[in-house]
Amino acid sequence: MTAEEIFLTSGDLNQQLVKIAYYDGDLSDAHKKQLHGLVVQLAEDEHLTYPQYKDYWRKPGWVLVRVTKTLHGKGFPTLYANDVTIAKLEQSIFPGQTRWLVYSIRKGWNVAVPTSAYAIERII
């Protein structure tokens, strides 16, 4: 057992729950919508004490995605390959560029990922 496996957070466990639900499901549109709802509920539950996030992930534009490669931020992984979560495509702060705003279930925050990184695959 590695140190990473020993020190699992609730975010790690929630991400595993979502991955199991995704990979064991039938991948029908109805199943994908249920999975999207599950991720939104996990995000909202994590932020109950922050009223500014009420219904934040229920707004239009948030879609179910799969992370295709591990992404690091500030020296540690924030999103792992094959994580299933929600994301929103938006304009980057740089003119003419777009980025994914990806919710990290493991960390409990949004991560900005340039579309040029080719690391996010839209599921629905």
pLDDT for 92-116, tens place per residue?
A: 888 888 999 999 998 899 999 999 9
- Domains contained in the chain, number: 1
Nearest one of 12, 9, 122 to 67, comparing CA atoms = 122
Q: What is the mean pLDDT of the chain?
A: 87
Task: Please name the residues in contact with 86: beta carbons below 8 A apart, sequence gap of 6 or more.
Answer: 36, 39, 40, 43, 57, 62, 63, 64, 65, 102, 103
Name beta bridge partners: 111: 102
More reliable by pLDDT, 36 or 8: 36
State the pLDDT at residue 1.
46
Percentage of the chain beyond pLDDT 70 is 93
State the pLDDT at residue 76.
84
> Domain limits at 107?
3-122
State the pLDDT at residue 31.
85
State the pLDDT at residue 16.
85
Residues across the chain: 124
- Predicted TM-score (pTM) of the model is 0.84
